[in-house]
Amino acid sequence: MSELRNCTAFYIITYAECVDTDNDWKELSARGKKAVDAVEEVLKDVHFDAFYSSPALQAIRTVSPIAFSRGIGVEVVHDFCTQRLLNSQMCTRCEFCKMSWEEVVQRLQDDADFREAQERCVGVLTAICRKFRDRSVLLGTHFTILTLLFDKFMPDFRDFEANGQIEPHLVKFEFRSDEFIKFELLEWSF
């Protein structure tokens, strides 16, 4: 992967497969750990200046091995979390996690809480973009948050499965100043 000039690159990874213990997904499964190793191999030539994660332990555990292999810590971004959105009482955690792409997009169109979450996430990206202008950052988060970002920057993009993507999803957004300019799905395999 070539390094960018005059662009900020956000590599965004959704959390890897976790062990399901009463809907409290925190530990990565053996398959999830292998997936993180495979993603790290794909990203081995990318120089990252910072690593961020939502506060969800599964997201932190997905990003941390990649960050630590480079001698950099992971900064937790509390606004990049679905849990804060769930406090709005619009649905339960389980319901939210099982929503399809189309259901999330529909909620965005119909629900002020989703729009507020999208604005919050875009605000986080904008702040990081300004702090790390013309550099590369890896951000670990949830699929739903990624959906909110796609709806903002790539409203015609719909479904990872239709594009052959497997979990964890790995994408790259590029910005020039605060303007979105490009998107790329990054492929990886075991």
- Looking at this protein, which amino acid is placed at residue 1? M
Q: Which is more confidently placed, 163 or 42?
A: 42
Say which CATH topology domain 8-185 has.
Rossmann fold (3.40.50)
Contact (Cβ atoms closer than 8 angstroms) between residue 114 and residue 148: yes
Q: What is the pLDDT of residue 91?
A: 40
Find the angle CA(169)-CA(137)-CA(23) to the nearest 5 degrees: 40
Bridge partners of 172, per DSSP, are 11, 184
pLDDT at 83 over 80: no
Interatomic CA distance for residues 71 and 114, integer angstroms? 36
Q: What is the pLDDT of residue 109?
A: 65
pTM exceeding 0.85: no
- Looking at this protein, which amino acid is placed at residue 45? D
Q: Which is more confidently placed, 159 or 116?
A: 116
Write down the residue that tokens 């490009």 correspond to. 182
Residue range 96-125: mean pLDDT, rounded: 70
Least confident interval from 44-58, 68-82, 152-166: 152-166
Contact (Cβ atoms closer than 8 angstroms) between residue 152 and residue 118: yes
26-30: long-range contacts at Cβ-Cβ below 8 A with a sequence spacing of 24 or more? 26/57, 26/58, 26/61, 27/57, 27/58, 27/61, 28/58, 28/61, 28/62
| DSSP string covering the chain | -PPPSS-EEEEEEEPPPB--STT---SBPHHHHHHHHHHHHHTTT---SEEEE-S-HHHHHHHHHHHHTTT---EE-TTS-HHHHHTTSSS-HHHHHT--HHHHHHHHHH-HHHHHHHHHHHHHHHHHHHHTTTSEEEEEE-HHHHHHHHHHH-TT---TGGGT--SSPEEEEEEETTEEEEEEEPP---
Least confident interval from 30-44, 46-60, 94-108: 94-108
Interatomic CA distance for residues 26 and 20, integer angstroms? 8
pLDDT at 90 over 60: no
Residue range 126-141: mean pLDDT, rounded: 92
Q: What is the pLDDT of residue 53?
A: 93
